[in-house]
Amino acid sequence: MKTTKISHKVIGIDSIKIAYREAGEEGNPVLLLLHGFPSSSHMFRNVISKLSKHFHVIAPDLPAFGFSDVPSLETFSYTFENYATVIAHFLDKLKITKASFYLFDYGAPIVMRLLIKRPKMIEMLIFQNGNIYNEGVGDVLKEVSALYRNDDIESYTKLKSFFELEYIKWEYTNGVQDISNIAEETYFLDQFLMEREGVKEIQIELKRDYSTNVALYSVWQDFLKNLQPVTLIVWGENDEVFKKEGAEMLQKDLVDSKLLFYPTGHFALEEFGNAIAEEIITYWYLNF
């Protein structure tokens, strides 16, 4: 049996080293896998091989995530808008003009900011616990938002707990079928990388910026309703970060989309990666 090669590469984008995983033949349809908080391209490690038999798979690490550079707050603007610019320049440098996009967690607003400026890039969208509806915002994010608004020492102390191992482990294990299915290196790797100098302060500022995404939800909804792109929605239905109501609203607006719920939490690939990868492949061939 031929083994799929997954390359771990680095490319310079706007003077920042961006690490990314790449697999599959050039010339195949491009599939961009974009992670969210607190993860990296490592979250796709179990699905890249299967997907790369059909797609040219590319999975970058955002600045201050994974193994990409960590520019300081003084030299880099940690906003979702600026992340979208980095990904746009990343795709430009790789000469990618058409792609399918995997929208997960933070990756959803980043990709939406990109695509609303470049709608002709879209071949297929895969939403996996990547929310763009108020109905999908869980109590966790509501609590975080309230802590930012309070802007006092007690609130800041509570806020910092969202960047520690206990919470990061919770994001991986909450709502899962069987906690023994969750590899411990997932949350320990994320926490290890979180402990790098300046990263927690960066993450706190980035999460503060999440409110700018909520303000754009209705814009992105109208964009998708008008465009009606080929869209697959795969969702961990027990997710308390981004609730399943967000997936249901997305399916309602995208009339030909397909929605599948899985009995797991936020990081649905950890328990249902093989099934989700199969659905992506099947849905592609049904539509193209």
Question: Among all residues, which ones are annotated catalytic?
Answer: 266
- The C-alpha atoms of residue 16 and residue 70 are separated, in whole angstroms, by 8
- The C-alpha atoms of residue 127 and residue 115 are separated, in whole angstroms, by 14
- The C-alpha atoms of residue 37 and residue 146 are separated, in whole angstroms, by 19
- Return the number of other C-beta atoms located less than 10 Å from residue 225's C-beta: 12
- Write the burial class of residue 262 (CB in 10 Å: 0-12 exposed, 13-18 middle, 19+ buried): buried
- Beta bridge mates, 222: none
CA-closest candidate to residue 67, choices 166, 185, 193 = 193
User: What angle in degrees, to the nearest 10, is found between the helix axes of 244-253 and 217-227?
Assistant: 40
User: What angle in degrees, to the nearest 10, is found between the helix axes of 184-194 and 199-208?
Assistant: 100
Alpha helices in the chain (DSSP H): 48-51, 80-93, 107-115, 139-150, 153-160, 165-173, 184-194, 199-208, 211-214, 217-227, 244-253, 269-287
Distances (CA, A) of 99 to 14, 102, 137, 185, 234: 22, 10, 27, 30, 18
